[in-house]
């Protein structure tokens, strides 16, 4: 399955007239809308990815298939919205691994990979934190935004490693 999208959420106001908190709030609004749209588009795949779906194949044998996404081809901004990463200005800007911004130039080193399982654990940890400040610090420590990522619950899809 190939899916192409170009989601642009236009700013109804002049961004230069916003204060810092309004800018942050509008950014959060855009990320939430993006995730709602993705959840709507891919919603039917979530259940099937976990439970499977019976399908009669060309050889007339019924098999249980589990759909997943193998590749997500996106530009930098799209990938940041897709996986709720903080993008280029973050301390950990890479959507695929946890390379510190100061070490992006060092291509000889290996860094911890972002996986759906590990990032889901970060989201779970942050959700169970009582303090809003502590919650935000957890997300910042992993270069993530506090926005529900609907597609993170899909089985057989490694949201972070599949990006090109």
pLDDT in tens, 131-152: 889 988 998 888 887 877 665 5
Sign of CA dihedral 161, 81, 156, 41: negative
| Count of C-beta atoms within a 10 Å radius of residue 64 | 10
Domain that residue 60 falls in = 17-153
**% pLDDT > 90, the chain:** 7
Helices (DSSP H) in the chain: which residue ranges? Answer: 20-51, 76-83, 116-127, 132-141
- The token pair at 50 is 């976990």
- Does residue 5 lie within any of the structural domains? no
pLDDT in tens, 38-55: 777 777 777 777 778 888
Q: How many structural domains are present in the chain? A: 1
Cα separation, 151 vs 17, in Å, equals 34
Banded pLDDT at 61 (limits 50, 70, 90): very high
Residue 31 has pLDDT above 50, yes or no: yes
- Does residue 7 lie within any of the structural domains? no
- Does residue 163 lie within any of the structural domains? no
- Does residue 128 lie within any of the structural domains? yes
Cα separation, 120 vs 149, in Å, equals 9
Q: Is the pTM of this model over 0.85?
A: no
Nearest to 37 by CA among 76, 94, 81: 81
- Does residue 9 lie within any of the structural domains? no
- Does residue 130 lie within any of the structural domains? yes
- Does residue 103 lie within any of the structural domains? yes
| Count of C-beta atoms within a 10 Å radius of residue 141 | 13
- Does residue 82 lie within any of the structural domains? yes
């Amino acid at each position: 399955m190939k899916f192409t999208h170009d989601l642009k959420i236009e700013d109804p106001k002049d961004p230069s007239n916003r204060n810092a908190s309004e800018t942050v709030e509008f950014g959060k609004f855009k990320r939430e809308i993006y995730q709602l749209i993705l959840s709507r588009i891919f919603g039917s795949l979530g259940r099937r990815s976990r439970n499977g779906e019976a399908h009669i194949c060309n050889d007339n044998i019924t098999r249980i298939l589990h759909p997943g996404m193998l590749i997500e081809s996106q530009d930098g901004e799209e990938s940041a919205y897709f996986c709720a990463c903080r993008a280029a200005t973050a301390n950990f800007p890479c959507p695929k691994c946890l390379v510190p911004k100061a070490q992006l130039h060092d291509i000889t080193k290996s860094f911890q990979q972002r996986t759906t399982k590990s990032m889901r654990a970060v989201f779970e940890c942050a959700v169970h934190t009582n303090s809003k400040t502590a919650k935000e610090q957890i997300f910042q420590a992993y270069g993530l935004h506090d926005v529900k990522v609907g597609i993170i619950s899909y089985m057989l899809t490694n949201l972070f490693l599949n990006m090109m």
